[in-house]
Amino acid sequence: MNKTKAERDLAFIKQVMEDSKKLLLENGLPYVIFGALSIVCTALTYGAIFLQFYASIIWIWVAFLLMGTSLIFFILRKYKREMMGTFASEIYGYVWMGMTVFIVINGACLFFSGKFDLGPFLAFVAGVLGAAYFISSTITRKSWMFALSFVWWAGAFVMVSIDSFYAPLVLACFVLVCELIPGVILHLKWIKSHRPSGKGEEAVPQVDE
């Protein structure tokens, strides 16, 4: 063995590891789905307020949760083969699942006890999302996610301090910035790294044996 061969071997290892790490990229679709759906639901909520169908608001958000979770379930099933299961990704999934259940239970308790107030509740949702982003950033080591957790927390303060009527609108803006746009970026990156003709799919450079 000479120096060139050793360098080639090391470069080979690095490239293979780098390429396989691309498989661990998030495809971003859960962010896109929840982001887009929540913006649509916010618009529907204002529509219901405008038409004075106040009772339908809760059902709009129940439908949002059902549609969002079912869509994500089917999409993740479709991509399961390309998304390798790691212990970190498993924890990541459970963090989001746990946070969603936490929000739903709190919302249901407040609603059925007659203490539901939209503004403070959405501020609470933003606070929980901030916590979810904060924990997820530690698992995924994504600095942008870490930064967005503080944006969510700032959003919680904004929502609790304004009139409840504007809270869904503010939430929709935060969803756009913190969820939909990053989701689209993640998905585009994911498509690029999984494109068959792209470099990402070539994976192992010249396995000559």
Partner 1 sequence: MSVENYHTLDEVLHSRIRLAIVSILVTVEEIEFTLLRDRVGATDGNMNTHLKKLEEHGYVSVKKEFVKRKPLTTYRLTVKGKENFKKYVEILERFIKRQGK
Query: Which of 1-9, 51-59, 96-104, 166-174 is the region at the interface with partner 1 (rule: CB under 8 A)?
Result: 1-9
# residues contacting partner 1 (CB under 8 A)? 29
Among the listed ranges 82-90, 103-111, 132-140, 175-183, the one in contact with partner 1 (CB under 8 A) is 82-90
List all residues 6 or more positions away from 161 whose beta carbon is below 8 Å from its beta carbon: none
Tell me the window of 53-61, 79-87, 97-105, 124-132 that interacts with partner 1 (CB under 8 A). Answer: 79-87
CA dihedral 80, 83, 86, 91 (to 10 degrees): -70
Tokens of 146: 């870490």
The Cα 174–Cα 148 span in angstroms is: 10
3 makes contact with partner 1 (CB under 8 A): yes
Nearer to partner 1, 133 or 190 (CB): 190
Residue 19 near partner 1 by CB under 8 A: yes
Does residue 9 bind partner 1 (CB under 8 A)?
yes
DSSP annotation of 22 reads G
CB of 26 to partner 1, least distance (A): 14
- In this structure, how many other beta carbons lie within 10 angstroms of the beta carbon of residue 81? 7
Chosen residue from 55, 112, 113, 208 binding partner 1 by CB under 8 A: 208
- How crowded is the C-beta side of 126, counted as CA atoms within 13 Å? 30
CB of 51 to partner 1, least distance (A): 46
Buried-state track 104-137, b at ≥16 Cβ within 10 A, e below 16: eeebeeeeeeeeeebbbbbbbbbbbbbbbbbbbb
Q: Among 103, 81, 65, 101, which Cα is nearest to 27's?
A: 81
Cβ–Cβ under 8 Å, residues 171 and 125: yes
- Quick note: the x/- pattern for partner 1 over 136-175, rule CB under 8 A, is ----------------------------------------
Nearer to partner 1 among residue 163 and residue 209 (C-beta): 209
Establish if 197 lies at the interface with partner 1 (CB under 8 A): no
Answer yes or no whether residue 85 interacts with partner 1 by CB under 8 A. Answer: yes
Residue 88 structure tokens: 């970190």
Binding stretches for partner 1 (CB under 8 A): 1-3, 6-7, 9-10, 12-13, 16-17, 19-21, 23-24, 81-82, 84-88, 202-204, 207-209
